[in-house]
A and B are shown apart, each in its own frame.
Chain A
Amino acid sequence: MQWGPYRTDTHIDTTGAVDRWVHSTCNLCSIGCGTEIAVKDNQIVGIRGKTEHDINLGRLDPKAKDQWIPNNHATRLLSPLIRNQQGELEEASWDEAMDLIVQKAKETVEEKGGDGFSIYSTGQGFLEDYYSIAKVGRAGLKTHLLDANTRLCTATTEWCLLQSFGADGVPAAFEDLDVAETVMFFGHNPAETGTVFFDRVMERKEKTGKPTIIVVDPRETLTAQHADLHLQLQPGTNVPLMNGLLREILHHGQVDQPFIDEHTIHYEEMKDSLEGWSLDRASDVTRIPVAQLQEAARQLGHTESLVSTTLQGAFQSSDATAACVAINNMHLARGLIGKPGSGPLHMAGQPSSSGNRTVGGVGTYPGNRNPENPDHLQDIANLWNVEQEALPVGPEKGIIKQIEMMEKGKIGFFWNIHTNPLVSLPDRERARKAMEDVFVVVQDPFLTATTDVADVILPPAMWGEKEGTMENADRTINVLRKAVEPPNGVWTDFEILVDFSRRMGFTDQDGEPLIQYATPEEAFEEWKRVSEGRPSDMTGMTYDRLEEANGIHWPAPKTRPEGTTRLYANGDFRTKVNDAQSFGKVMDTGRPYTQEEYQSFNPNGKAIFHATHYFGPPEQTKEAYPLWLNTGRLVWHWHTRTKTGLSPDLEEKAPEAFVQLHEDDARKLEVTDAEEVRVVSPRGAITVPVNISGEVKPGEVFIPFHYGNWDGEASVNELTIDAVDPLSHQPMLKHASCRIEKI
């Protein structure tokens, strides 16, 4: 074992022995750590890491140790709520709530068509729930408006993979970290956002001296502090950095020409596009010294194995997909893909965001099927026994587009499942106004900032109270067993969706119910049939096998039930025209290619190089707003703190937002540590205390995004911009201009 030792991190709160430990998986970050839930007297009383689980060797993230606490919290909702005519929320029965939802849904579809109905879900649900959303949404409601908070999180992962390799699914796996000679964390701070993942790398490094770690981040994060080389770039310059490095590597001939010739297309076009990007120019734009760029290019050009990870520093920045495609370009040029220790590992932020894409709850059709390909729609029509003409053509619409549609009165129903967009969306005041004229259903165990605009609130079961599967950041499917029954009055997400479909009267073309499965495991079995022969084939998996194996990487077809650690080992990519999940988009504009255009490229199973031109952030700093605002996470909290905010220990460690500021800027502004200041952007202002820190450079500030309500708690998303990446439509939350005012 390259890392270790084994541990059993445990947090229980009970006297005496627990009654039983139940197999599960952590439901917070994207690593997918194996866990066991402690049950006593039919109540969840704790958690421990599963020692023999390869992903975590028994470790738990600090947040994970407390994730069971919200299950038993006094503020938990135990009954549906309906907003009455006075604007107050009143308890209601499930029948009353579901009948009202169905009445409004039917009215909306009648009045506005299927595209008047939006389901905005999550990256924290189960595949069985997502698959049901796909079926209800596509074949029942016939809507394109299936999106999720994954749009804010890892939509860019999907699009960079589609562009380069033809299908979703990260090529590398966590196992590759154990043998890689070099690891590049690109806009990824795992020391705070995936601590067990970071332990895996650092424990190996302590034992063996490997890997060489390169960190790309404008902040000197905890991860950057452990780097062999920290490339502290100017905000919004990921593409110039990658273009400069790749040009240098190509210039020195450090490429795998046989691999390029045999397994890729469009290499020469990509190479030509880099010509202007000397290291001097890259240094000018990124403000990284040339010597550091040379050192990075040398390491990346010579290393025999390389894992490149990306997260929000890449995804929530300008030119997001282009930056990630540039990383793919580098791996392809060097032939560092599909081999042990090598490959892009574009991460997920949530425990099952990639799972939502895989089964079609967001993005393309289930099983990596192309919504623009008539043959793929016919596949789905056959599998679901519905008419092909009834299935909506084309991809989903992202949440920012949906907000515009709400403003124009095009959306009548917004169903928000396990997410809190009125804290997490950029320019959240605008989002709130847009939602106020729409019928809003919020499915959440707790009152949140978003329930303020809800017409109906449905309280669902939580982690440990339901059964299903999740997909982590490296294509591992884990099963989560039910440890306890949900509290009285609470339904699971799965039950809610199946009930909704039944009440709506959705049927197949024989008049039978559209959804005929009754349990999550039956839904998984149906999904397996849908996945057969596709990139995410799971026909070799069963719930029992997933538990026994502590997770299995997809694809796991019947002929290879043990799964597939890394993709593209044979150099065959999913780019054939009738296999590809997408026909791709024009890199500079995001305009989708047509089937005819894609066919003319003739990728035919080869990976695709793309030119990655630099456009930069649409908003720049200026005299009135001279500082760059960056946002991100803290190790102590998860998303908008709906759950972690209920843990006294976590809340005590990080109780409020702050603005991190370099001491040079603090001196200029004549502010001191902990002093309250106003942070003002062209969109709004918030008041937060100062945290003077060397993590940020002069001219840049950082504010964590976990905070915000409508009762005075500051939210950084009062300040952020709602422009999106042209390919992934992921908002650019990482750079806005701002100023700080002394109060």
Chain B
Amino acid sequence: MDDLRSYVTDLDRNVDDLLSRLPIFDDALEARFHLVLKEKKAMITTVLDELANEPSDDQKIKRCLKIIYRDDEVEKLNFQAWKRLCQQNQAVDASVLEHMEQTFSHMKEVLEHVAEGTDHLSARNIRYVAPALYK
């Protein structure tokens, strides 16, 4: 069974990377996905703290993961629109956008792996946790 901690640690690293780059253009869309990333960071921190406990509270972890998945989904909707506007208005360097795109995509892949089942949450119990496009 895959280790949830390693996945969440991976997410944490990527969220930190994105947060360290913001604000960039500071428009309405960026402001929204910035807020989501901050919320995601807080949830990830809670999950990592909980995973350090023995035994961990898997219900609490599940509640946080639900939010992390939903954050991941909405942040990308706002990011993709923001990226297009940045490109159209030539507002942000293309390499920065590409790096952010890859980071967001990587986080989605990580969450897709989590949806396949981990040591704390089986795939059978993921139905109401992970949104449709992560399964």
Given that A594-B70, A596-B63, A618-B28 are contacting pairs, would A393 and B133 also be in contact in the complex, using a CB cutoff of 8 Å?
A: no
B residues 70-97 near A (Cβ < 8 Å) are 70-71, 74-75, 77-78, 80-82, 84-85, 88-89
Q: Are B77 and A594 in contact (CB under 8 A)?
A: no
By beta carbon, the residue of chain A nearest B84 is: A722
Task: From the candidates B32, B82, B88, name the one contacting A682 in the complex (CB within 8 A).
Answer: B88
Task: From the candidates A374, A619, A724, name the one contacting B128 in the complex (CB within 8 A).
Answer: A374
Q: Chain B nearest CB: distance from A433 CB in Å?
A: 13
By beta carbon, the residue of chain B nearest A392 is: B132
* B25-40 near A? 1/0 per residue, CB < 8 Å: 0011101110110010
Chain B count of residues within 8 A CB distance of the other chain: 30
Residues of B within 8 A of A397 (CB): 133
Q: Are A615 and B32 in contact (CB under 8 A)?
A: yes
Query: Does chain A have a CB within 8 A of B127?
Result: yes
Q: Chain B nearest CB: distance from A631 CB in Å?
A: 17
By beta carbon, the residue of chain B nearest A683 is: B88
By beta carbon, the residue of chain A nearest B82 is: A618
Q: Chain B nearest CB: distance from A23 CB in Å?
A: 42
A residues 301-344 near B (Cβ < 8 Å) are 318
By beta carbon, the residue of chain B nearest A726 is: B32
Q: Are A724 and B77 in contact (CB under 8 A)?
A: yes
Q: Are B74 and A682 in contact (CB under 8 A)?
A: no
Q: Are B85 and A591 in contact (CB under 8 A)?
A: no
Query: Does chain A have a CB within 8 A of B66?
Result: yes
Given that A596-B63, A619-B89 are contacting pairs, would A726 and B133 also be in contact in the complex, using a CB cutoff of 8 Å?
A: no
Query: Does chain B have a CB within 8 A of A617?
Result: yes
Q: Chain B nearest CB: distance from A629 CB in Å?
A: 14
CA distance in complex: A723, B78 (Å): 8
B residues 33-59 near A (Cβ < 8 Å) are 33, 35-36, 39
List 4 A-B pairs, minimum CB-CB distance, nearest first.
A615-B28, A723-B81, A682-B88, A618-B29
Given that A682-B89, A723-B81 are contacting pairs, would A616 and B28 also be in contact in the complex, using a CB cutoff of 8 Å?
A: yes
Q: Chain A nearest CB: distance from B99 CB in Å?
A: 18
Query: Does chain B have a CB within 8 A of A513?
Result: no
Q: Chain B nearest CB: distance from A524 CB in Å?
A: 29
Query: Does chain A have a CB within 8 A of B117?
Result: no
Residues of A within 8 A of B39 (CB): 589, 591
Given that A394-B131, A588-B35 are contacting pairs, would A594 and B66 also be in contact in the complex, using a CB cutoff of 8 Å?
A: yes
A-B contact list, 22 entries, CB within 8 Å: A115-B133, A374-B128, A589-B36, A589-B75, A591-B67, A591-B70, A591-B74, A592-B74, A595-B128, A597-B67, A615-B31, A616-B28, A617-B28, A618-B82, A618-B85, A682-B89, A683-B88, A722-B81, A723-B85, A726-B32, A726-B74, A729-B77
Beyond A115-B133, A594-B63, 13 extra complex contacts between A and B, CB < 8 Å: A393-B128, A589-B33, A589-B75, A591-B36, A592-B70, A592-B74, A594-B66, A617-B28, A620-B27, A682-B89, A683-B88, A721-B88, A726-B78
A residues 382-406 near B (Cβ < 8 Å) are 389, 392-394, 397, 400-401, 404
User: Which of B33, B71, B81 is most buried by chain A, counting CB atoms within 10 A of its CB?
Assistant: B81
Residues of A within 8 A of B85 (CB): 618-619, 682, 721, 723
Residues of B within 8 A of A404 (CB): 80
Q: Are A590 and B74 in contact (CB under 8 A)?
A: yes
Given that A374-B128, A393-B132, A682-B88 are contacting pairs, would A318 and B67 also be in contact in the complex, using a CB cutoff of 8 Å?
A: no
Residues of A within 8 A of B127 (CB): 389, 393
Query: Does chain B have a CB within 8 A of A372?
Result: yes
CA distance in complex: A404, B76 (Å): 11
CA distance in complex: A394, B131 (Å): 7
Given that A318-B28, A618-B29, A726-B32 are contacting pairs, would A394 and B81 also be in contact in the complex, using a CB cutoff of 8 Å?
A: no
Q: Are A144 and B132 in contact (CB under 8 A)?
A: yes
Residues of A within 8 A of B27 (CB): 618-620
* A579-599 near B? 1/0 per residue, CB < 8 Å: 000000000111110111100
Residues of B within 8 A of A723 (CB): 29, 81-82, 84-85
CA distance in complex: A392, B133 (Å): 11
Q: Chain A nearest CB: distance from B125 CB in Å?
A: 12
Q: Are A372 and B128 in contact (CB under 8 A)?
A: yes
Q: By DSSP majority rule, is chain B's interface helix, strand, loop, or mixed?
A: helix
Task: From the candidates B32, B67, B133, name the one contacting A590 in the complex (CB within 8 A).
Answer: B32
Residues of B within 8 A of A592 (CB): 70, 74
B residues 85-127 near A (Cβ < 8 Å) are 85, 88-89, 127
Task: From the candidates B33, B66, B133, name the one contacting A144 in the complex (CB within 8 A).
Answer: B133
Q: Chain A nearest CB: distance from B35 CB in Å?
A: 5
By beta carbon, the residue of chain A nearest B89 is: A682
CA distance in complex: A619, B29 (Å): 9
By beta carbon, the residue of chain A nearest B78 is: A726
Residues of A within 8 A of B71 (CB): 591
CA distance in complex: A510, B45 (Å): 47
Q: Chain A nearest CB: distance from B84 CB in Å?
A: 7
Residues of B within 8 A of A144 (CB): 132-133
Residues of B within 8 A of A393 (CB): 127-128, 132
Q: Chain A nearest CB: distance from B50 CB in Å?
A: 15
Q: Chain A nearest CB: distance from B44 CB in Å?
A: 15
CA distance in complex: A115, B85 (Å): 27
CA distance in complex: A188, B55 (Å): 57
Residues of B within 8 A of A372 (CB): 128
A residues 364-421 near B (Cβ < 8 Å) are 372, 374, 389, 392-394, 397, 400-401, 404
Residues of B within 8 A of A392 (CB): 132
CA distance in complex: A619, B25 (Å): 11
Residues of B within 8 A of A588 (CB): 32, 35
Q: Are B70 and A724 in contact (CB under 8 A)?
A: no
Residues of B within 8 A of A596 (CB): 63, 66
Residues of B within 8 A of A617 (CB): 28
Q: Are B74 and A115 in contact (CB under 8 A)?
A: no
* A692-728 near B? 1/0 per residue, CB < 8 Å: 0000000000000000000000000000011110100
Q: Are B133 and A589 in contact (CB under 8 A)?
A: no
CA distance in complex: A397, B76 (Å): 13
Residues of B within 8 A of A620 (CB): 27
CA distance in complex: A724, B81 (Å): 8
User: Which of A392, A590, A596, A618 is most buried by chain B, counting CB atoms within 10 A of its CB?
Assistant: A618
CA distance in complex: A144, B28 (Å): 28
Q: Are A589 and B63 in contact (CB under 8 A)?
A: no
Q: Chain B nearest CB: distance from A593 CB in Å?
A: 8
* A724-742 near B? 1/0 per residue, CB < 8 Å: 1010010000000000000
CA distance in complex: A144, B78 (Å): 20
CA distance in complex: A622, B90 (Å): 13
CA distance in complex: A620, B7 (Å): 39
Residues of A within 8 A of B70 (CB): 591-592, 594
Residues of A within 8 A of B32 (CB): 588-590, 615, 726
Residues of B within 8 A of A722 (CB): 81, 84
CA distance in complex: A394, B74 (Å): 14
Q: Chain A nearest CB: distance from B29 CB in Å?
A: 4
Given that A372-B128, A615-B28, A618-B27 are contacting pairs, would A590 and B89 also be in contact in the complex, using a CB cutoff of 8 Å?
A: no
Residues of B within 8 A of A591 (CB): 36, 39, 67, 70-71, 74
CA distance in complex: A615, B39 (Å): 18
Residues of A within 8 A of B28 (CB): 318, 615-618
CA distance in complex: A112, B27 (Å): 36
